[in-house]
Structure 1
Amino acid sequence: MRMRVGQLIAFFFRSLLWSLNLFLVLYTCMAYWLLYSLQIEHWLAGMIMISIPVAWFLNLVIVFLWLITRPWRSWLSGLTLLIGILLFGSRTFVWHRPTEIVSQGTPLKVFSYNVQTFGELEYWQLPQSVPRVRRTLSYVLHYDAPIKCFQEFYSSTKIPDYDIVGRFQKAGYNYAAFLHPKMAHAVNGDIGIAIFSIYPIVESGREVFDTHNGIVWANIKIGNDTIRVINVHLHSMGIRVGKVLKQKQIKGVQHETRGVLSALRTGFIDRNEEVRKVEQYIQNSPYPVIITGDHNDTPYSVVYERLRRILPNTFEEAGRGFGFSYNRLPGFIRIDHQFHDPKIPVLDFETINYIKYSDHYPIAGTYLIK
């Protein structure tokens, strides 16, 4: 009798697991189709697309569970994972070595960093600078790259250490383009997006989405060639996992969760509109283009897929590892990207994940200007 009861319980849980397995596989395949075809760009479709890594993890867990109980049933989730790796593996994990220069040309490094206002907004009312801000500024000033792009850029003339625009000019970056140029020499200069270059900027432009978000582009002359660098900061993802986890009461968790979901929904809608404007600047450019910045979207998103269909992604062609670029919870996402024109070969790409001054890690792509 006990044996029969045990068998019934085991049968029930296996049937439940198999039902969940079927549902998960169908959900994962739907996410694959949405991302691969890009037929539906509704915000709800975007939510499903970015959940692909979570679906992979759950499928992997189910594979191990079936291997323990009914090994032959593990093939379904295993096959689903294999299809996902074939379709989207290169945007998830790569391992490339830096390419050696085998032809004549100029190596060009493009550095990009969301500096989170250098943390200055916490200290700008103080009569003197603080060590944390000085360390951040020292790093970005001395990093060896002729073109540097920033998001959430801030400068203040109140304290000499915080006059970052002036300090970049003294360091040899005589050319610059800003989202809010009038703030470049202000006491409280919330500039937003900035491009600094040691090479001449022959033309530039900008488009503001809101206070911090927008597009800044610059046509930069390097020797006899000219390229266009587009620095973008798209609408925030609204990720506040830390605030959710800090809540001690259910009501607080529910409130913060609703806030995250609402912010995600708004972000999907706004970024889908903003990426179309980025596409226009690419298509209207008379020169080869490099795009960099904080896109606030993962490789499994409408934004990433639309740009990827126009230009190759630098991480996929020359990066190493997973390239996670967000320095906060959940931590395992890549939302800072670079894309480049095929006429500008990529030599190397690095996510500098040991620099933790901001809520993002810096990224740097090295290209060959022939």
Structure 2
Amino acid sequence: MTLRTRVGQLVAYFFRSLLWSLNILLVLYTCLAYWLLYSLPVEHWTAGMIMITLPVAIFLNLIVVILWLTTSPWRSWLSGIVVILGLLLFGHRTFVWNSEQDVPAGFMPVKVFSYNAHTFGLEDYWTRYRSSPRARRIINYVLRYDAPIKCFQEFATASEIPDYDILLRFKMTGYPYSALLNSNEARAKDGYIGIATFSRYPIIASGSQAFYGANGVVWANIKIGNDTIRVINVHLQSMGIRVGRVLRQNELKKVRQETRGVLSALRNGFIERNEQVRVVEKFIQESPYPVIVTGDHNDTPYSVVYERLRRILPNSFEDAGRGFGFTYNRLPGFIRIDNQFHDPKLPVQNFETINYIGYSDHYPIVGTYLVKK
């Protein structure tokens, strides 16, 4: 055996040993994330950071499996088992393929449409004071979409321009009932309502609780025939994801500054949302009627917020959605942070992410629920 061959073998052995050591650390990290999400033993923001990286950890384990299969196949079993376990435990949170259910006798389908409309583009100064084609398109879309209950986050209105007097236009198009977060802004020249729920059915009671800025919760008890349901419209603290701003920087110093900003916003978001979700839980538990929770939760399916709500109410995407259901229309793009949860007394017939509507930085979501006639 030549010296060159022996050196080559030593180098190969070193890298295999290094990869195996990193493989073990990755497996331990992934199992920690599994345990944190499955058991929720702690809800500290550091646990939240680990939990949201779970899809990345599973993907890295899959890459490791492929690498070992090409070099030392027997070593692929460790990450292989971890990947299979993750798919069994949490795979349905990311990808599902359900078929639309038939409407049984004695029930009627009721659609609940939800959309973070990003103020309909009215945050732009010039758009606010003149009729903009883009703003008209998104406003006309949400007015014309056929759903008796419509919920919005980042909802804005402008009473001085007829095209932008959206509250009045909803009433004129058959939605006489509404519940608003900042109702004092309803007739303002530049009214930022924040969260708004509109209904063709009577709203017999409603309430709200504001968080920081435009974030908050609005609930509405809606009478449909002889039954009443409670729709809870939420907008929780932002995730602070600004991947695009990081990628646009061409200097290392600025990249570091933007990255620190993202991490700080993520940390603060975890802390705020963990407190805010308890308010949502209170409105669920106090409801005398079956509940649907909808809105911009600003958290992924691998989070404390999602898991806490999921332990109270089934998730509509998991029960009746198809595909990945990604709802964020910006980088990184492959996340689902808008959700609907439903009471088992209100079975979900169908759930859709309308990912061809790109007016906002979110896609609309709509769930169809079965209500007794």
How many Å apart are 1:40 and its aligned residue? 0.7
User: Mean alpha-carbon deviation: is it higher for 125-134 or for 309-318?
Assistant: 125-134
Q: Are 2:122 and 2:128, in contact at CA under 8 Å, matched by a contact in 1?
A: no
Match of 2:280 among 270, 278, 281: 278
How many Å apart are 1:128 and its aligned residue? 2.0
How many Å apart are 1:89 and its aligned residue? 1.2
Task: For 2:309, give the aligned amino acid.
Answer: L
Task: For 1:139, give the aligned amino acid.
Answer: Y
Match of 1:27 among 26, 29, 44: 29
Task: For 1:275, give the aligned amino acid.
Answer: V
Q: Within 5 Å, which residues of 2 pair with 1:1-370?
A: 1-123=3-125, 127-370=129-372
Alpha-carbon distance in 2 for matches of 1:124, 1:133: 11
Alpha-carbon distance in 2 for matches of 1:360, 1:342: 27
Aligned residue for 2:179, secondary structure, equals strand
Alpha-carbon distance in 2 for matches of 1:88, 1:182: 43
Q: Are 1:123 and 1:130, in contact at CA under 8 Å, matched by a contact in 2?
A: no
Task: For 1:122, give the aligned amino acid.
Answer: D
How many Å apart are 1:123 and its aligned residue? 4.1
Task: For 1:360, give the aligned amino acid.
Answer: H
RMSD: 0.8
Give TM-score scaled by structure 2 length: 0.98
How many Å apart are 1:127 and its aligned residue? 4.0
Alpha-carbon distance in 2 for matches of 1:35, 1:114: 27
Aligned residue for 2:171, secondary structure, equals helix
Alpha-carbon distance in 2 for matches of 1:290, 1:275: 15
Runs of 5+ consecutive residues of structure 1 not aligned to the other structure: none
Relative to structure 1, the CA distance from residue 142 to residue 125 in structure 2 (aligned partners, 3 Å threshold; closer, same or farther) is closer
How many Å apart are 1:102 and its aligned residue? 2.1
Relative to structure 1, the CA distance from residue 31 to residue 369 in structure 2 (aligned partners, 3 Å threshold; closer, same or farther) is same
Task: For 1:149, give the aligned amino acid.
Answer: C
How many Å apart are 1:124 and its aligned residue? 5.1
Alpha-carbon distance in 2 for matches of 1:73, 1:212: 51
Runs of 5+ consecutive residues of structure 2 not aligned to the other structure: none
How many Å apart are 1:211 and its aligned residue? 2.0
Q: Are 1:112 and 1:364, in contact at CA under 8 Å, matched by a contact in 2?
A: yes
Aligned residue for 2:113, secondary structure, equals strand
User: Mean alpha-carbon deviation: is it higher for 96-105 or for 329-338?
Assistant: 96-105
Task: For 2:176, give the aligned amino acid.
Answer: N
Deviations along 1:191-240, one digit per CA (max 9) or x if unpaired, are 00000000000000000002210000000000000000000000000000
Q: Are 1:123 and 1:129, in contact at CA under 8 Å, matched by a contact in 2?
A: no
Task: For 1:352, give the aligned amino acid.
Answer: I
Number of residue equivalences: 370
Give TM-score scaled by structure 1 length: 0.99
How many Å apart are 1:97 and its aligned residue? 1.1
Alpha-carbon distance in 1 for matches of 2:136, 2:17: 60
How many Å apart are 1:103 and its aligned residue? 2.2
Alpha-carbon distance in 2 for matches of 1:228, 1:116: 25
Alpha-carbon distance in 1 for matches of 2:307, 2:102: 29
